[in-house]
């Protein structure tokens, strides 16, 4: 049963520290998404990759957040420096776009999330 | 304007009964996709069911079915024969077919379902 994996599952850190979250998308998937979930804002899209290329990171605070895909099996989301307002659950999701002739709206499969608390 | 509206913040349902979760959406795009996700207390987001705007029939997946009423812009989720494990938050989401922007999922606020024994 293929799943998206995320590490760490929980992270507690102090303000100002760097936080790195990792995601392994489902093998063969060519799209990766980073979301943030908070009680106040709900689910927000932070970044989107297709075939490892970043296509949209407009949802991320540019000065402190960065997202990369060093290879097809790893996506990373970094926060430097972290702030208390970054406390949230961060989800990675992956999907497979089959092309114009296929199912254009691919399903996004979510990982278990990283629960981040910045003190 | 909200693209996805879920008007029921919380619901209680008796075990083995059916429950309907409301979802209305707003789009002017003729091509869109509608999704339902389940988020149990463990926090993971679990994909349940998908309905495309051009699909002629309502989607079904096991005990889940989607009551798709296109003219009313409604995509209600029906869970039949509720089980205790169905207790969770349920999110309705939509993707629109605008060129270059068709990857974004718009989520509703969610509905919490509690199944009583």
Rounded to whole angstroms, the Cα distance separating B21 from B4 reads 13
- pLDDT for B117 beyond 70: yes
- Is a pLDDT exceeding 90 seen at residue B98? no
Mapping DSSP onto H, E and C, the string for A26-56 reads CCCCCEEEEEEEECCCEEEEEEEEECCEEEE
- Is the Cβ pair B47, A107 closer than 8 Å? yes
Q: Which of B30, B43, B92, B100 to mutate to test the interface with A (most CBs of A within 10 A)?
A: B43
At A59 the pLDDT is 87
Q: pLDDT at position A99, please?
A: 58
Q: CA nearest B81: which of B94, B65, B69?
A: B65
Instruction: Using alpha carbons, select from B28, B8, B36, B30 the residue that is nearest to residue B113.
Output: B8
What is the token pair recorded at B46? 């679990």
The pLDDT of residue B89 is 97
- What per-residue confidence (pLDDT) applies to A58? 86
Q: Does A104 touch chain B (CB under 8 A)?
A: yes
Q: Do B47 and A45 touch (CB under 8 A)?
A: no
Longest dimension (CA), chain A: 48
Signed CA dihedral, B20, B24, B29, B35: sign only: negative
Mean pLDDT score, B96-113: 80
Radius of gyration over every alpha carbon of chain A, rounded to an integer in angstroms: 14
- Angle at CA B28, nearest 5°, toward B24 and B32? 70
Chain A residues lying within 8 Å of B103, measured CB to CB: 31, 33, 48, 50, 55-56
Contact call for A108 and B105, based on CB within 8 A: yes
Per-residue pLDDT of chain A (119 residues; tens, 9 = 90+): 789 999 999 999 999 999 999 999 999 999 999 999 999 989 999 999 999 999 888 889 889 999 999 999 999 999 999 999 999 999 999 998 765 544 567 889 999 999 999 99
Test A55 with B105 for CB contact under 8 angstroms: no
Pick B96 or B25 by higher pLDDT: B25
> What is the rounded CA–CA span in Å between residue A111 and residue B14?
30
| Omega prior to A71 cis, within 30 of 0 | no
pLDDT of residue A101: 47
Q: Show the CA angle centred on residue A39, arms to residues A36 and A40, nearest 5°.
A: 95
Does position B92 have pLDDT exceeding 80, yes or no?
yes
At B36-67, the pLDDT tens digits run 999 999 999 999 999 999 888 999 999 999 99
| Mean per-residue pLDDT over chain B, rounded | 92
Q: Cα torsion for A110, A42, B62, B33, to the nearest 10°?
A: -80
């Amino acid at each position: 049963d293929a799943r998206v994996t995320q590490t760490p599952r929980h992270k507690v850190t102090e303000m100002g520290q760097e936080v790195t979250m990792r995601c392994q998308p489902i093998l063969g998937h060519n799209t990766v998404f980073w979301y943030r979930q908070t009680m106040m804002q709900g689910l927000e899209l932070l970044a989107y990759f297709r075939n490892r290329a970043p296509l949209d990171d407009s949802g991320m605070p540019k000065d402190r957040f960065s997202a990369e895909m060093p290879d097809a099996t790893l996506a990373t989301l970094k926060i430097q420096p972290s702030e208390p307002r970054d406390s949230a659950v961060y989800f990675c999701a992956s999907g497979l776009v089959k092309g114009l002739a296929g199912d254009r709206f691919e399903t996004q499969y979510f990982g278990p999330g990283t629960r981040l608390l910045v003190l | 304007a909200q693209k996805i509206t879920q008007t029921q913040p919380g619901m209680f349902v008796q075990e083995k009964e059916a429950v309907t979760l409301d979802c209305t959406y707003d789009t002017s795009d003729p091509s869109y996709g509608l999704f339902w996700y389940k988020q149990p207390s463990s926090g993971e987001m679990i994909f349940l069911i998908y309905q495309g705007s051009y699909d002629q029939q309502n989607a079904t997946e096991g005990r889940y079915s989607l009551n798709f009423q296109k003219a009313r812009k409604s995509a209600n989720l029906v869970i039949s024969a509720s089980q205790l494990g169905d207790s969770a938050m349920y999110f309705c989401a939509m993707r629109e077919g605008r060129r270059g922007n068709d990857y974004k999922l718009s989520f509703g606020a969610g509905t919490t379902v509690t199944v009583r024994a």
